[in-house]
Structure formats: structure tokens, C-alpha cells
Amino acid sequence: MRQRPSLTPIIGALPTTVPFVGPEAQERERGRPFRARIGANESSFGPSPRVIARMESVARDQWMYCDPDNYELKVAAAAHHGVAVENVVVGEGIDGLLGLVARMYVGPGDAVVTSLGAYPTFNFHIAGVGGRLVTVPYCDDKEDLDGLLAKVASEKAPLVYLSNPDNPMGSWWEAPDVVRFIEALPETTMLVLDEAYGELGPASALPAIDVSRPNVIRMRTFSKAYGLAGIRCGYAVAEAEVIRDFEKIRNHYGVSRMAQIAGLEALADQDYLRSVVARVAAGRERISEIARQNGLKPLPSATNFVTIDCGRDGAFALKVMQNLLSRDVFIRKPMAPRLDRCVRVSVGLDHELDIFAEELPGALAAARGN
């Protein structure tokens, strides 16, 4: 047998897994497409027509490398949030930025605190740098702020992750609660405050941005409300020295020219954003009504999806999801204990929600063995 180059001990010890199995992979395995793609929390409404027109107009320019400074997009994001350009870093979506944060603050064996069942890509990056994940169960379908604080203190954790609004439950904390959490953190613990769904929830859930705090990183994306999941672009807002630390290790050519232009144009069209937020709210209500009509309990949501309590255990909810998948309806579900009794349905176009409404009764009957 041939010898092969050795992996580092950290990578060699990891399983060959990925955080998500995408709908494309599932379609390849099934041999047919989904009729309703309402599982990945994408925006079926797509980007602003203004964004599309701008992207079409610059297609010919893609022979050029991107601006490695992401300068114009940084300026626009800074102006949007009322901070200096030195307080913004652009990356390949929040996922890319989370990878950088893991490298910046976590060494092998360091404890990192998050909620049990929270966004799995964060966990994936922590494993990749050899961090030791410490999890806190949700409480009443919300991330447990006091529980997270207690674990940070007992583990002397250098990093803690909180999403607000939350994925996968759609729940949220109001801004005063988040501020209380921030103020109670040790100064030596960095908080990643993931606000991927920030534009879709109540404004009262978003604290004012304070870039004087060196232990808070606020993250935003163009993947959700702005309808640009495919371009992989997001940004973080933080104290200037924290941003300079990002600059030490980020991939300076990681955000394409097209992505920078699309993000810039998306920020400029806030009227379209407001229209999408209204359509998402209507879609959440439609999903909730479909759930109620079928004897299920929709949970309150500040995101572009609704998490639905199936009323039994995780095994039953898994059957519901699998039966919807077999009916060409792509949804997902939480997998952590306590949360796994639910399925999660993204807001889609009207015809996709029509299909969901049509297929859910049969999926439930099959799951019940009827």
C-alpha cells in the first residue's frame, strides 16, 4: 500500500461530515427535483430587480479580479449602520466569517459555548481548530441566556455564540435582554452575535451597535432578506482593532466582484427590502395557518421560516419530514433533543406553499401509520 501525506492531528481525528446535505444532493439521490424548495431558509422572492439589472450590466467585467479591500461595500455597510469603515469586514457569508473567528480566538482544547441545536456550521468550524464545544440546552424554545453565561464563567470560555433571531426555532430575545447578556460577559470572552435574520424580525430585537466594545462581533448577511444566498457575501461589524485582526487572516480575494456589486446594490434598495419583509410576514402567517389546520402548533417566528411543533417525539417529526420529502417537498427539522419534535418550513412562493398545504395531510397520515 502506498504511503500518503499525514493530516494534522486535529483534522485526522475529525469525521468526514458536513453540516448540511443540500437539496441538490438530495435531488441527485432521488433522481428528480423537489416541487417546493422550502427548507433552506432562502428567499424565493429573490434579489431586488435593481440588483439583478446591475449584475447583468457588469457580467462582462468578471474577467477582472475583485477589489481585495471590498472597499465600496464596506463603505456602504458602514454608512447603513452608522459606523466607520474601519468597523466593517466583508467575508464569504457569515459562514466564512465564523471560520475566521474560530481561527482568531480558539486554540486546541479551548472551551467554546453555544446552544445545543444552534447553527451547526459554527460547531463545524470550532471542531476544525480543535476547540471543545460546550453546549447549553434551549429553554422554552429559546436560547438560554443565563445558561450560556453560566457556562462561559465555569469554562472560562474565550468565545460564545448567540443567534438572535434564532435558527432553528425562529425565536428571539428583545434588545434589552441581549444588552444585559453582553454586559454580563467577561471582557475576555468574545461574543459572536449572529444576526442573519435581523432584517426580518422586530426592530426591538436589535440592540444599538456599540463599536467601542472589543468583545462583541455583530454579523449580517445578504443571504436571507436580501435574497442573495447564492453569491456568498456577508459582513461583520466590530471594534476597529477586532476588524484589523480579521484582516490578518481573511481571504482577500474571497468575495467576488459580482458579490461585492450585488451587496452594494442590495443595501441601496431598502424599499425592496421592506417589501420582502412584508411578504415574509404574510408567508409566515400562511405556514402557521396550514399547520393549525392540520392540528399542529406553529411557533412564533422572527425569521423567514416557521418551526412547527408536531406534537409528539423526534421520531415522529422525522417521519413527517421524510414523508414530505417523498412527496417532493423539501423541508428540514431540528435534530437536538427537545427541539427535534419540530419540523422547519421556509417561506416560499405562493405555489410552493400551496403544494405544502396539499401534501402535509398525507405526510402526517403516513407518519401516524394511517
Joined together, the cell numbers standing for residue 23 give 437539496
Among 241, 269, 297, which residue terminates a domain?
Answer: 269
Looking at the structure, tell me whether residues 264 and 277 fall in a common domain: no
What integer pLDDT is reported at residue 211 of this predicted model?
98
The verdict on residue 85 lying in a domain is: yes
DSSP state of 151: H
Same domain, 193 and 148: yes
Number of domains in the chain: 2
pLDDT tens for each residue of the chain, 370 residues long? 899 999 999 999 999 887 788 999 999 999 999 999 999 999 999 999 999 999 999 999 999 999 999 999 999 999 999 999 999 999 999 999 999 999 999 999 999 999 999 999 999 999 999 999 999 999 999 999 999 999 999 999 999 999 999 999 999 999 999 999 999 999 999 999 999 999 999 999 999 999 999 999 999 999 999 999 999 999 999 999 999 999 999 999 999 999 999 999 999 999 999 999 999 999 999 999 999 999 999 999 999 999 999 999 999 999 999 999 999 999 999 999 999 999 999 999 999 999 999 999 999 999 999 7
Same domain, 223 and 153: yes
Domain boundary, last residue among 244, 269, 294: 269
Residue 3 inside a domain? The answer is: no
Pair (291, 223) in one structural domain: no
Residue whose grid cell is 415574509: 280
Per-residue pLDDT at 282: 98
Angle, helices 49-57/257-268, rounded to nearest 10 degrees: 150
Same domain, 243 and 291: no
- Does residue 292 fall inside a structural domain? yes
Would strands 159-163 and 111-115 be described as parallel, antiparallel, or unpaired? parallel
**Is there a single domain that holds both residue 259 and residue 278?**
no
If asked whether residues 66 and 174 sit together in one domain, one would say yes
Domain that holds residue 316: 9-46+271-368
In a domain, 65, yes or no: yes
Question: Taking Cα atoms as reference points, which of 265, 216, 240 lies closest to residue 80?
Answer: 265
Residue 59 lies in a domain: yes
Q: What is the pLDDT of residue 18?
A: 78
Q: Which CATH number belongs to the domain containing residue 298 in this structure?
A: 3.90.1150.10
Alpha carbons 160 and 138: distance in angstroms, whole number: 15
Structural domain ending residue among the three candidates 246, 269, 292: 269
Q: What is the pTM of this model?
A: 0.96
Q: What is the CATH number of the domain that holds 239?
A: 3.40.640.10
Residue 182: its H or E element: helix 175-184
**Residue 20, pLDDT score:** 84
Examine residue 352 and state whether it is found in any structural domain, yes or no.
yes
Which pLDDT score, from 0 to 100, does residue 370 have?
A: 77
C-alpha cell at 262: 450585488
Specify if 290 maps to a domain: yes
At 224 the pLDDT is: 98
Sheet strands (E) in the chain: 36-37, 88-91, 111-115, 132-136, 159-163, 190-194, 216-221, 234-237, 297-298, 305-309, 329-330, 342-346
Examine the domain organization and report whether 41 and 98 are in the same domain.
Answer: no
Q: Are residues 221 and 280 located together in one domain of the fold? A: no
237 and 312 housed in the same domain: no
Same domain? For 217 and 189 the reply is yes
Same domain, 158 and 232: yes
